[in-house]
Structure 1
Amino acid sequence: MIRTYNNSLTSYKDPVLVQDIWDRWFQLNVVHDVEASNLKTYIDGVLVHEAQGHGGNNHYFKFGVYAQDNPSNYMESRWKGIRVLNKRSY
């Protein structure tokens, strides 16, 4: 789960992947190798985090603004060029 807290992009709540992330476009790529239980997160083409998967045999993809700590009246995310690929796609 990729989240923002205090202008920093995080994997869950820790570690911080990128600071000063608000108010700018960035490319986010996440490679989830389920069989190897491995996740790689890329920001603007640079590998910023690698971690083990959290297990399970049922996975789904979602994005958007859901909530935040101490929510404000204004939360926004903008998305373009969304592609979801799997090994059978190429």
Structure 2
Amino acid sequence: MTKFSIQNVVFLTSLMSLYTNVFMESVADPTEGFTNVPLTEYNFEIQRPYDIPLNQRYSYENGTRRLWVYADDKPHNPNSHTMPRTEIRIRGLDYSSGVWQFEGYGFVPNGTSGATIVQIHGASHGATTIMLRIIDGNMNYYCGAVRGILATQMYDKWFKVNLIHDVDGGRVTVYIDGEQKAETKDRGPGDLYFKCGVYAASTNISYFMESRWRDIKIYKK
């Protein structure tokens, strides 16, 4: 092998190493340093329109939880004045301090719009700490035009969501497919818990809304 070719090999090896490091940094593991909290079916409380049987708004087959709702459905409680929802409320793991994380793989079919698909419920100021909402195929922090679009072209594909809530530090960090998309101040401590599924916004929603979830996990530090 000539001196020239040896130099080329060294250069290419260094270039490949640099590329690998950059790739690994851009697609991080948000759960590093966290401890997984075991879940059972008890932890998956389903909230749905109060007058509709569960199997008409929710299914769980082959590891996938499918949740759907219609714009003219009733709320989850006869005494509630909120918009229609079919949501998984992570039960038994409410928190008010520490660092907690939700992880799950979501799927939203084309046509669903105006639906919150994952949220942290509870705050000192307002009802929620964060809502991630699908509007016209884009992933929005609350309502996109007001708060910001985090990711685009989300229809008809599986994507991973990680929400990290540092309550004591007052911060929420959002990862989509391992890439950090946002970090923001929270809205104060409270009785906090994670939810995912479909929860209609107050305006500009599609008549039918659906999301699917699998491999839902909760972590804490």
TM-score (norm 1): 0.88
Percent identity, aligned pairs only, is 38
Whichever residue aligns with residue 133 of structure 2, its letter is: R
Output aligned runs, 1:42-81, within 5 Å. 42-68=175-201, 69-81=203-215
1:5 maps to: 135
Whichever residue aligns with residue 22 of structure 1, its letter is: Y
Counterpart CA distance in 2 for 1:25 and 1:56 is 31
What is the aligned residue count? 87
Q: C-alpha root-mean-square deviation of aligned residues, in Å? A: 1.2
Deviation per CA, 1:45-65: give whole Å up to 9, x if none: 000101000113221111101
| Cα drift, residue 7 of structure 1 | 1.2
**Helix, strand or coil: the match of 1:54?**
coil
| Cα drift, residue 27 of structure 1 | 0.5
Counterpart CA distance in 2 for 1:59 and 1:39 is 13
TM-score (norm 2): 0.38
Structure scoring higher RCO (CA < 8 A, sep ≥ 6) equals 2
Runs of 4+ in 1 over 4 A off after TM superposition: none
**Structure 1 or 2: more helix by fraction:** 2
1:37 maps to: 170
1:23 paired with 2:153, answer no
Q: Is the alpha carbon distance of 1:33 and 1:70 closer, same or farther for their aligned partners in structure 2, counting shifts above 3 Å? A: same
Structure 2 segments unaligned to the other structure (5+ residues)? 1-130
Structure 1 segments unaligned to the other structure (5+ residues)? none
Q: Is the alpha carbon distance of 1:62 and 1:40 closer, same or farther for their aligned partners in structure 2, counting shifts above 3 Å? A: same
Deviation per CA, 1:68-87: give whole Å up to 9, x if none: 43443421100000001122
